[in-house]
Every structure is written in C-alpha cells, then in structure tokens.
Chains A and B, each alone.
Chain A
Amino acid sequence: MKRAAVYSLVLVLGLLALASGPAFGQDAVVIKNGKIVPVSGAPISGGSLVIEKGKITAIGTNVKIPANARVIDASGMYVYPGMVAPLTAVGLTGYPGAGSDINEVGLSSPYLDPFEALNPEDETIGVARVDGVTTVMTAAGTARLINGKVIALHLDGDLPEDMILQRDVCLVFNTSARQANSYPATFEGLSRYFTDKLDKARQFADKKKAGESVRDPEMEALAAVLDGQKPVVFVAQGEVPLRIALRLITDFKLKGILFTASNDLLKFVDEIAARKIPVIWAGTTGLPDRWKPVDLNYHMAAVLAEKKILFALSESAGQGGGNVRRLPVPASLSVAYGLSEEEAVKAMTLNPARIFGLDDRIGSLDVGKSADIVICTKPLIQASAKIKTVFIAGKEIPLTNVQTRLRDKYRRIVEDRMARKK
C-alpha cells in the first residue's frame, strides 16, 4: 500500500514534468530559408538548420526535418553562430550600487574563481545576449599581476551552475601592471616577479610529485598552468609587456594567449606566427601614437589574418563589461581597412572558441555543437543589423532586457503626455 502510494506519486510527478515541458532546448526547431553562415565552412544559401535537445543535429540544403519541429522562416535573413566575448566581467557586475566583484586586492590571487560571485541576474547578461553574444569568458580580474580564473558562460540560466559552459578555463597574468608605489614599480621588477613566482610554483609541483605533503592555494593554482596544462592569458599593453609575456611562455613552457590593445604587437607578429601563439586583439579602436599612421590600429586584424595568426577580437581594451554587445564595432572597422568579412566573423565566433579550447562545443554551426544561434537582418558586422532571434543551447531567448523595458515604459509615458497636451 505504502509502496504503491510512492509509485503513484513518482508517476504523477513524472507526468507533471512531461506536461510542463522540459526546462529548455528539448523541442525540435528548424530554421529555414536563411543565408546560413556556419563560419567553419562556406555559407549556405536557402539552407536549413535543425535544433534538437539543445544541439545542432542537421545543417544543409537537403536535411531531414523532424516531425512536429517548430519552423522559423529566416527568408532574407542571415543565420550565424552566437558571438563569443573574451575576458569580460559579465555576471560579476551590473547593478548600480552593488559594486563590482572583479580585481580583488592583492598582487597574486590565482585561486580566485568568478563562479563564487556569479550573478545570473546581472543586467549586463540580458543586454549582451539580445545582440547576439551567447558566450562570454568571465575573468576574476585582469588588473592585478596574477589574477584569478576564467570561466566560460552561456548567457542563459536561472542559477550560476546553469550558465557554466566550463569552469577553470585559464588564468590571467597582466605583464603591464606596474605598481604605483610598491614592488614591482618597474617592468624590470615585474619581469622578475613573474619568474620568481613561477619558479616557486615549479618547486611546489616537484615536491608534490615527490609525494611531499604540501599545501599552498596560490602555488597550487599557479602550478596548474606549468608546461601548458592550462592556458594563461597575458594582458600585455605595450612592447615591453609583450616581450615579458613571450619570454615567460618560453621559460615555463606555458600555453600563452596574448591579450593586447597595443599596436606594438606589430613588432612581434612574425615571432608570434612562428610560435603559433593566439592573440586577442583589443586595440582596433585605439588611437595610434602621433608618429604612426592614423589608421594603423584599424589594419592590425588584417595583418594578423595575413600572418595566419589565430586571433579573436575584443571590443574593450581591457576587461569588457556592460557593452560586450559592441563586438561588431572592431570587426566592421577592421573590414573597412582590409580584413575579409569572413575572417572578421570568425574572430568573433570560432576563433575565440578555439583559443579557449571550447571549439568542440561552440563557435560554429556544425552538427553536434551547442545550438547557439543568431538570426539577423543584415550581415553581422553591419552596425545596423537587427537581431531577430537568439538561441542559446537550443533555447530561444526572449529579446527583452532592462533597456527594452525602459523603452516600452517611457514610450507610453511620453506618448500619453503628448496626447494630454494636444
């Protein structure tokens, strides 16, 4: 009797769960008639893309459409993979008065994990995703010398764990962060600071390997990047910081990623190409020094493409936040000054996914990848392109956020007031 009751309760709950529908991404969707830009391959005109259980299950001009699939007609529209924003603060900031939870005090804190303060209700999430940014790489900080961890986030989810694509992706070192009044106040000091720390991390790792019982959260976190086990992003704003980063990558066999807004990058492009070091180019909209050509920074992405360097674009010279939706701005300016449109789109999608080792899951429209999809009225690099539909892991995202709510509220208020005055 008792057991029967339990069984029926389980049955009822199960039915309820089925009736109310799965949390997300379970219904089949087909996007038809659009110009599909998979990024990993040639664009497909008039093709179809099928989404099932949160993933892309078919793509092409001749695909089998599941029965009962919801059909989205994308005639005249463009279909892209969602954009990926590198090094952001999205999820750690965004409420006035709440303060920001990035850049903890201290020169070295590689153990910090942004997941611990991740706020799924951060308004910058809604602002970014309605414009087609579906994944962000959120960092604990970028301003200290040895910063914390980076997490890859899908911009959807009610709880922090719902958003996680991957935790502990990499660490962030800043080889430009000279201190104002304390060691290291110079680059020569900074250069040795890093060497010293990584030497200690090496010793720590050796002790651990030898079976010694050692415990040090800082060294533990640092040792995890030695010998390329996990990548390190080097924020390196200038010639000397770039050179320090390149030396550390060699000396400690690190899997380095350069993040820079400095056109001094030009001095290293051949070396970087030969060493196959990926770059996050954050300086497109930066102003060149007065003795350099006025359009120098606009050309940098084209140079990186020409040298076959794996590169991604960042809209912000440092850690981006509330305006990662501006990612197409450096892309369009780079195209205006010589980059191909194809490469520009790649630098906002597949390339950052590759750089952070997520390209098996996101970054392009391919069978088996997460259904992170953007449908827009014009090519993605056009500033006037309107985003019409966004999917994250197969779930259609409502195109509303704090700003659309403000628009709706005040459009009504202004219209009412004008009507009353007439």
Chain B
Amino acid sequence: MLKRTTTIFLALAGFSLALAAQDVALKGGTILTITRGVIENGTVVIQKGKITALGKNVAIPAGLKVIDVAGKFVLPGLIDTHTHIAMDGGDVNEATDPSTPHLWMKDVLVSDHPSILTTLSGGVTTVKTMHGSANVFGAVNAVIKLKYARPLNELLVQGVRPQLKMALGENPKRVYGEQGRSPSTRLGTAYVARKAFTDAREYKAKWDEYEKAVAAGKTEAKPPARDDKLDTLKMVLEKKMTIDCHIYRADEIVWFLNFCREFDIVCSQISHCIDGYKVADIIAASGATAGGWTDWWGFKEEAYDGCPYGFEIMHRAGVNIVINSDSPDESRYLYLNAAKVQKYNDLPNDVVLRMFTINAAKALEMENRIGSLEVGKDGDCAVFDKYPLDSTAKCVLALIEGDVFFDLARQGVSAVKGGVR
C-alpha cells in the first residue's frame, strides 16, 4: 500500500526518474574506488541499495539491469558538506535572534527544489544543507541524499550525529550591529557562545540530577522546565551532536578550538576556513575538518588572506580537507575546483579526489557508508565521461542507492527536441 502510494505520488510529481529500489550493475568502466585504487574495465554491482560486488571479474547476477559504462569513469557519489540547497532562500537565515539553536533545517526542506537537480547534475549525491551565518547559533543542519522529488523522509539521512551550525566573525557582527543590537563585535559573539554553553551546562546538570532521582525510584522528583534552545545545546554537551562553525580568521579558529576544549564539545568542521593554512597544525590536532573554497578571497575583510596555495600546508600538517561549494552554482563542479587545487599546490590526484569524497564522508561521520566504492557501502555513484580531474569532464549519470537520479541524456539539453536552438 505504501509502495503504491509512493508510486502514485511520483507519477503525479512526474519528475523523478527513479521509481522503485533497483538492482543494477555498472559494467566496464574505470572505477575510482578512492580508498582502494583504480580498477580498469571494472564492474560495480549494487543490490538493495548497497554495493555487493566490485572488481574486474565480477559475475553479474542473472536478471540484473546492466548499464554499460565502457570508456567512462565511475566514482563514489560526490559529497558537499556545506550547501544551502533544497530550501527557499528566505529560510536560510532566521536573522532575528543571534542564538537559535532550537531550529532544525529538516523542517523547511523541499524535496523537488530545483537546486537538488542542478547539484545532482555535477555528480553530487549527498550534501549537508545548512542554516546561514547570520546567527552565532544558527540551526541544526540536515544531511540529505539528493533523491530528487521523493518524499522528504527518504532524502533525510538517519543515524548520523547531527551538526549544529555556528558562525563567528563579521557576519553576526554585521547583522546585529546594523540592528543596534549585540553582538556587534567579536567580543559580543564570544559572550553569546560562552553564555549559551554555560547555561546549557547548568540545564544539563539539572536534568542529570532529575534522571538520577527517577532512576533511583524517587517518584516525587520533578522534571526541570523544558527549554528548546538548551535542549539542543545539551545534546552538544552530551556529544550527541557536533558543531560546524563558520570561521574565517586564524585567531578565531584557535579561539573556537580552545572553546570546544573548555566545554568538552566536538567541532566536526570549520567552514570556509579561509585562514586554515595559518594554523594547519592546530586544526589537525583538533581532528576537525577544514572545509572551504579553492580560490575565493578578498570579498570582505576577513576573507582577505584567502590563499589557494594553502592546501599543501594543511595536507602536510594532516588536516582532513574538503572542498565545499556554499553555492548551488559551484556545487555542480566540485571536481573542477578540486583540480584547481593542483594548480596552486603539488598534490597528487588521489589526495585531491579525496577532498570531495571520503574526506567529506569523514566530516559527516559517514565514512562507513559513503565516500568510496567498497562492498557494503551505499550504492551511490557518479559516472563521468572523462577522468574527473580533467577540466573538460562532465557527469553523465548519478545513482543513489542503485537508483538513477540524474541522467544527462534524459535531463540535459540533448533530451530537448532540437537541442538548445
């Protein structure tokens, strides 16, 4: 019944290519596994959404749908750990209060938003879609697989630690300073952050005490008053949630990593991370991922030291580096921006390919599910017509858990009668 409803829904939607979960084999391509080298003339078998076989001489089970990818390159679906897609632009920033940790981005996602399809067209299959940087505490971000036009609950990735968006530096300062409110300085921002977690510690202590009392059978124990904002921050203190913090300047990166130690909380990713190369060793020691652009710089004061030559410094220090788009435009060519890393840094192909695959999966704590092609992992693949670090390559096919969600031949210009003319 559920299945039929879904099918009808999709028929009505009329957009999604994928119908039912499909078993499929991608046959005869060059497979870039990312973690286990390159397999020439290889085959990837996906069954019930997972990769079940992978290699040169793989027996394709009878009856399986076969997609010929001879001459093409198969890689794990790309991952973008900093986007604001799949939502109305008006829902990116709740810029009325510098502290809104009680908000959840999953509440506002639109499963057939056009940005999902355009992002898919660049081979991206998983994104973290986020609150903006107006607030010191934004919202809880959502990780979604880009299953265009499916019901939203099928897009939302379950079972991974959520990440709360925080933002330091010029943006909260500007947004609230212009309103004549605090924070209008970095000092004010530091206060907002510290006060919130100090309050959350107190709140958590009260709840811990209450739960201890209940466990001890004290029926007269009264629960503390619920507070939505503090509930989220309590989750962070309990390490049931981590932080993705928007930071440009080196001093603030160091400040924030110290702050995380002070409150014993986890920073998963430093976003934008313009000055990351200046404190590469400190980021590496913290275990946080550095996410950012390749060559954007100078568009505001705190972005002035953006440096595309910094990747080598971060790589040598051992930082987990990911390439992000922060834009529905650039999310379509993460591979091109990654190739550009090699223009400015002497880094080999395999190191750069990781920056939009397995490193990004690690940043989401999903490295056991996505980010490389290995038996047991999700059947998320991007097929390119050329080697993806060749700047004249393009994505021709994107599969999520074995279903084709993007097919250039069917969704691109060539599918339109008469082409573009």
A residues within 8 Å of B by Cβ? Answer: 94, 96-97, 123-124, 127, 131, 266, 269, 285-290, 293-296, 298-300, 303, 321-323, 325-326, 328-329, 332-333, 335-337, 341, 381-387, 403-404, 406-407, 410-411, 413-414, 417-418, 421
- Whether B299 pairs with A410 at a CB distance below 8 angstroms is no
A321 CA to B295 CA, complexed, in Å: 13
Residues of B within 8 Å of A403, CB to CB, are 297, 306-309
User: Is B298 positioned at the interface, with any CB of A under 8 Å from its CB?
Assistant: yes
Given A96-B304, A421-B281; A287-B412 close (CB under 8 Å): no
Interface hub of B277, B300, B309 (most chain A Cβ within 10 A)? B309
Residue of B nearest to A95 (CB): B304
Given A336-B392, A403-B307, A410-B277; A94-B298 close (CB under 8 Å): yes
Closest CB of chain A to B317's CB: distance in Å? 6
| Interface residues in B243-279 (C-beta closer than 8 Å to A) | 277-279
6 cross-chain CB contacts under 8 A = A127-B297, A290-B114, A321-B298, A341-B392, A414-B317, A418-B317
User: Is B229 positioned at the interface, with any CB of A under 8 Å from its CB?
Assistant: no
- Whether A410 pairs with B310 at a CB distance below 8 angstroms is yes
| Interface residues in B136-194 (C-beta closer than 8 Å to A) | none
Residues of A within 8 Å of B342, CB to CB, are 383-384, 386
- Whether B308 pairs with A333 at a CB distance below 8 angstroms is no
13 extra interchain contacts, Cβ-Cβ under 8 A, other than A295-B412, A414-B279? A287-B328, A299-B420, A303-B420, A322-B297, A322-B299, A323-B298, A328-B391, A341-B392, A381-B392, A382-B339, A384-B342, A411-B312, A414-B280
Of the residues B117, B277, B298, B391, contact of A123 by C-beta under 8 Å: B298
Of the residues B277, B313, B329, B415, contact of A285 by C-beta under 8 Å: B329
A336 CA to B336 CA, complexed, in Å: 11
Closest CB of chain A to B366's CB: distance in Å? 26
Closest CB of chain A to B25's CB: distance in Å? 26
- Whether B391 pairs with A322 at a CB distance below 8 angstroms is no
Give the bracket for the number of chain B residues in contact with chain A.
35 or more
- Per DSSP, are chain B's interface residues mostly helix, strand or loop, or mixed? helix
Residue of B nearest to A344 (CB): B392
Residue of B nearest to A410 (CB): B278
User: Is B50 positioned at the interface, with any CB of A under 8 Å from its CB?
Assistant: no
User: Is B393 positioned at the interface, with any CB of A under 8 Å from its CB?
Assistant: yes
Closest CB of chain B to A312's CB: distance in Å? 19
- Whether B309 pairs with A404 at a CB distance below 8 angstroms is yes
- Whether B336 pairs with A295 at a CB distance below 8 angstroms is no
- Whether A325 pairs with B295 at a CB distance below 8 angstroms is yes
Given A332-B391, A336-B391, A404-B309; A383-B280 close (CB under 8 Å): no
Residues of A within 8 Å of B313, CB to CB, are 407, 410-411, 414
- Per DSSP, are chain A's interface residues mostly helix, strand or loop, or mixed? helix
Interface hub of A329, A382, A384, A387 (most chain B Cβ within 10 A)? A384
| Interface residues in B109-148 (C-beta closer than 8 Å to A) | 114-115, 117-118, 121
Of the residues A269, A288, A321, A336, contact of B393 by C-beta under 8 Å: A336
User: Is B408 positioned at the interface, with any CB of A under 8 Å from its CB?
Assistant: yes
User: Is B390 positioned at the interface, with any CB of A under 8 Å from its CB?
Assistant: yes
Residue of A nearest to B333 (CB): A333
A294 CA to B395 CA, complexed, in Å: 12
Question: 0/1 per residue, B320-352, Cβ < 8 Å to A?
Answer: 000000001110010011011111000000000
User: Is B17 positioned at the interface, with any CB of A under 8 Å from its CB?
Assistant: no
Residue of A nearest to B250 (CB): A410
User: Is B106 positioned at the interface, with any CB of A under 8 Å from its CB?
Assistant: no
User: Is B413 positioned at the interface, with any CB of A under 8 Å from its CB?
Assistant: yes
A414 CA to B408 CA, complexed, in Å: 45
Residue of B nearest to A407 (CB): B309
Closest CB of chain A to B122's CB: distance in Å? 9
Closest CB of chain A to B123's CB: distance in Å? 12
User: Is B394 positioned at the interface, with any CB of A under 8 Å from its CB?
Assistant: yes
- Whether B420 pairs with A385 at a CB distance below 8 angstroms is no
- Whether A383 pairs with B343 at a CB distance below 8 angstroms is yes
A406 CA to B280 CA, complexed, in Å: 13
A333 CA to B121 CA, complexed, in Å: 13
A406 CA to B391 CA, complexed, in Å: 27
Closest CB of chain B to A168's CB: distance in Å? 28
- Whether A407 pairs with B328 at a CB distance below 8 angstroms is no
User: Is B36 positioned at the interface, with any CB of A under 8 Å from its CB?
Assistant: no
A323 CA to B337 CA, complexed, in Å: 13
- Whether A418 pairs with B281 at a CB distance below 8 angstroms is yes
